[in-house]
Every structure is written in C-alpha cells, then in structure tokens.
Structure 1
Amino acid sequence: MSRMVAFLCFLMSFLLAGAYCHAETVRVLTGNIEPYAIENGPRPGFAIEIVQEMGRRAGIDVEINFMPWQRALLEASLGHDVAIVPVVRTVEREALYSWIQPIMPGEPFYLLAIRPDVDISSFEAVRNSVIGGMANAPAESILRRAGLRYLDLSTDNIINARKLLAGRFDVWFAREAEAKLAMTRLGESPARLRRGFVVDAPPSYLAASRDFSPLIARRLAKAFDSMKADGSYERIVNSYGYGWLARQGP
C-alpha cells in the first residue's frame, strides 16, 4: 500500500511538473513607442509592464518581441496566435484583430505648434498648412477623414519633432505626452509646444491575431481586472509619471 501511495505521489508530482514546464507562451509584438513600449531602456514601458503582469497572474509566459511598428501590425493581422500592444482600436483596424482588453484610455490628439503666429484653433485654420504626424496610425486616419491633404508623415515621433524644429512643417498633430517626450529626447523644452485644437481618440488595447485562443484571452482579461481592483495597474502607470492617465480608465 505504501508503495502504491509513493507511486501515486511520484506520478502526481511528475504530471504537475510537466504542466508547469508546458505552460502556455504568448508572443507579444510591439514597437518602440515611448512611453508605452521602450526598446533597450532601463524599463520596458508601462504598456509592456502591464501585459507582463497580466501574463504572470494568468499563468502565461509572455514573450515580448520589439520590431518596427508597421511590421508588428502586419504580422499580428496575418499571423497565428500572436498578440500585439498597444493598438488603438479604430474602424480601419476593427476586422484585422481580436481585441483582448483595453489597457489605456484614449489619449486625445492635439494640433501643436511652436511659432506664436500659427493658428491651430481648428482643422479649418490649418487646412492649407503642412501638418506633421505619424504614418499608418490613428493620427493619419483622423487627418485624412477631416479632409486635410498637405501631410508630412513619418513612423517616428523623434523625426516629427526634428521636422517641426527645423521648420519643415509648422503644425504637428500628435498626442501631447508623445510629443513632449520626443522634444525632451532632442534636448528641447516641451514647454515650447503650443497646444490647440483637440480630438478625442479611442482606447489602446492588447489585441491579437484573429485566431487567438478565446480561453487565453479571457484569462488575460481577468488578470487585468484583478490589477485594476488591487491598484497595481495604477501603480505601474504612476511609476512612469502618467498617473493622470491611469485615473481616466480604461
């Protein structure tokens, strides 16, 4: 009898060890989108830390892969069982991904300028101006839907900040936090930016390929709910200096 008990205990520990070793791994794609995702920084960005903690609580190994953002968006839309963060949920993207969990409230976009004589009070006021912004992103979609034609777009906010400072364009359409961070990275005072017309934006999500496991998605979403409930979500965002964002939602 004792041998049988010992054998059953051994079998149980073997099975548990096997289950542990074969825990699900989710590959999460992202780009260098400061302050949400930061490649080669002392910390990975608050969106990444949130997703890592979601995975830890859900018993899922999260593998973060940095790559150019446009490649990440394409790979997630065409790939299999792969997640991506942070993705703004727009009409254009709705059918391309499965939407696991909003992790950040929508941050408004602003018309920004440095020169005091540039009117940035409305889209109509800048209709004949060259406007800088992020390519293949919500900023571009908003500008094009507004009928604005003279766009100077790039895939990097540092490049956009350089263009604004060099006078390549006088109006920049961007989220305030991203624009200020880009100015700081270039050694310029963010206080130089004037803020004008504002456009609200939808939340940013942890999204995934269309065939992503609904069971894993639910586990991750449940883990996020627990982070909101115990205050760890707000603590992570606060630690990056964006507590005001955490208090808005998502």
Structure 2
Amino acid sequence: MPAINRLLCILLLACLSPMALGERLRLVSDDWAPYIYRDAGQPKGIDYEVTSEVFRRLGVEVEWQFLPWKRCLAMVEQGLADGVMDIFQTDARKAYMVYPMEPMSDVEFVLYQASRRRHVISQLSDLRDLTVGTSPGYAYGPAFEQASGFRRESGPSHEANFGKLMLGRIDLLVTDRRVGRYLRRQLGLEQRVEELPLVISRQSQYLGLARKPGREQLAQAFADELRRFKQEPAFVAIIERYIGDSGHLPDAVEQQESSTLQ
C-alpha cells in the first residue's frame, strides 16, 4: 500500500467513533450461495470472505447471523443488527442505513426453464399466461414488478423453486445468474435446466450499515479498503475458489422487499 494511502487510512480510522472500532458488528444475511451461505453451520461464500477480510484489515470484529431476508431488513431498521449484506441503495432506506460508496458486486437477474418444457422468451410480454417462481421478499426491478399478464409464485427457498420447476408446478423461475448456475450444478440439474438469455434487470448491491454515530466514517473506510482489495490477487483467488471464473467480478443478487422500490 503506498505510504500516502496508508496514512490516509490511519487518519480515517482515527476519526471513527470508539463504539465503531471497539464493538463487534452484528451483520445479518439470508443464505445466498455462492455469495454468502452456511455450510455445516459455518459461514462461507464470496461476499462473506471479502467482507470479513476488509473488516479484518480495518480492525473491526464481525459476528454473522443468517435469517430470512425480510427479517434481516427489519432488524437493521429497528437497530437490532448493525448491517446487512448485499442490498440495493434506495431513498427509503437512507433514513436508517449508510452505504459504502464501493459496491460489493452487480446483480443480474435471469430466467431458468426446464429443458423438457421450453418457452421462447425474448421480452417480458412473452411471459403471458405463464407462472414464474420468485423468492419471498426479493425484488427483481421495476419492469418485472410492474409487468402484467403472468403469475408470480413465491417459493419457500431458492432450492424449492428449482424443485417446483422440475415438477412442472411453475413454468420458469427468476434468480441471479451466478446463483442459478451454482444451484443448478449443486442440485445436479445442469442437463435438465436451461438459462435463458433475457436479462430481467441489473443493479449494484452494497453492504448496508445501520445509521449510528460513526457509521458514515466506517462506511468510507470500508469502501476505500474494498477498492484496494479488489486490485489484489487475493480477491481473484476468492472468486476462483467458489466459481472458478477469474475473468469476471462476481454478479450477485439483492434480496430486498418489493415494497421499498419506488
């Protein structure tokens, strides 16, 4: 790290409130492999490792808790959690949440279908009279949310939606591209489930910190350190370890309440 950058980082950390540096941050998230999830009770994933390393460099200890997405959002808003992983920036949340300026990754929602029940989908209007599997508390962008003529059926989990797809209970499902590919591989469905080329929406997602004294400075320090870490081989190594694709930064999904989108 250049000397001037190291000095600026030290000065910035010195400005953080004692509470921000002395406490253990409680971060919440839903399971969303390969970005953040539990394996044998232990947290894993791309965003988990990146965030943990950035906070380690900042001298901030982190405690992780996995909960349903709607509950994650409620806990941050009520001040019961210090932050939430992988979230969109919205005006409605700025009253109680602070975002680092550097995003964790980008969201890219796509559709999946069973190979034996193909549909020609090149635009949202082609979904007419079909049933699309969604996940509770997730939002897929204004175009998808406002489109009409097709049914949305929420499943209890992302894995359950793939099961419903194979049983013919839904015609398609919508999820993040990398998450869909990961689950398809994990469930042994690579030859039975196809990814469609239509991109439903793209957005950047961030770490969201509960708005408390010193959190603006902590968010800035996190963003600065995250930018530096993204330039290091260690960052690429994390991606390769989970998805074996060093040519692209991770595309992730934002798990958010539909009602918060304006």
Normalised to the residue count of structure 1, the TM-score between the two structures is 0.79
- Cα distance in 2 for partners of 1:188, 1:174 equals 15
Task: Give CA-to-partner distance per residue, 1:161-212, whole Å, 9 cap, x none.
Answer: 0110110111212222222222333332266314142133111211122336
Give the letter for the 1:28 counterpart. Answer: L
Give the letter for the 2:26 counterpart. Answer: R
Match of 1:87 in 2: 87
| Structure 2 SS opposite 1:138 | coil
Cα displacement (A) at 1:231: 3.4
Match of 1:11 in 2: none
Q: Does 1:59 align with 2:62?
A: no
With over 3 angstroms needed to count, the CA separation of the structure-2 counterparts of 1:152 and 1:197, relative to structure 1, is same
Q: Does 1:130 align with 2:131?
A: yes
Match of 1:26 in 2: 25
How many residue pairs were aligned? 229
| Structure 2 SS opposite 1:151 | strand
What is the root-mean-square deviation in Å for CA atoms of aligned residues?
A: 2.8
Cα displacement (A) at 1:95: 5.3
Structure holding more helix per residue: 1
- Cα distance in 2 for partners of 1:125, 1:91 equals 32
Larger radius of gyration: 1
Match of 1:174 in 2: 175
Write out aligned runs for 1:138-217 (5 A): 138-139=139-140, 142-147=143-148, 149-189=150-190, 192-211=193-212, 213-217=215-219
Cα displacement (A) at 1:65: 1.6
- Cα distance in 2 for partners of 1:247, 1:177 equals 8
Match of 1:237 in 2: 239
With over 3 angstroms needed to count, the CA separation of the structure-2 counterparts of 1:80 and 1:221, relative to structure 1, is farther
Structure 2 residues not aligned, in runs of 5+? 1-17, 253-262
Task: Give CA-to-partner distance per residue, 1:42-93, whole Å, 9 cap, x none.
Answer: 7611101111001111111111122222211211122167011022335665
- Cα distance in 2 for partners of 1:148, 1:135 equals 20
Give the letter for the 1:217 counterpart. Answer: A
With over 3 angstroms needed to count, the CA separation of the structure-2 counterparts of 1:57 and 1:176, relative to structure 1, is same
Task: Give CA-to-partner distance per residue, 1:12-59, whole Å, 9 cap, x none.
Answer: xxxxxxx9xx73422111121111111135761110111100111111
Task: Give CA-to-partner distance per residue, 1:81-109, whole Å, 9 cap, x none.
Answer: 70110223356656553212444332321
Normalised to the residue count of structure 2, the TM-score between the two structures is 0.76
Match of 1:246 in 2: 249
- Cα distance in 2 for partners of 1:154, 1:208 equals 28
- Cα distance in 2 for partners of 1:218, 1:177 equals 28
| Structure 2 SS opposite 1:39 | strand
Structure with more relative contact order (C-alpha pairs < 8 Å, separation 6 or more): 2
Cα displacement (A) at 1:152: 0.5
Match of 2:220 in 1: 218
| Structure 2 SS opposite 1:202 | strand
Between 38-47 and 196-205, report the one with greater CA deviation. 38-47
Match of 2:9 in 1: none
With over 3 angstroms needed to count, the CA separation of the structure-2 counterparts of 1:109 and 1:95, relative to structure 1, is farther
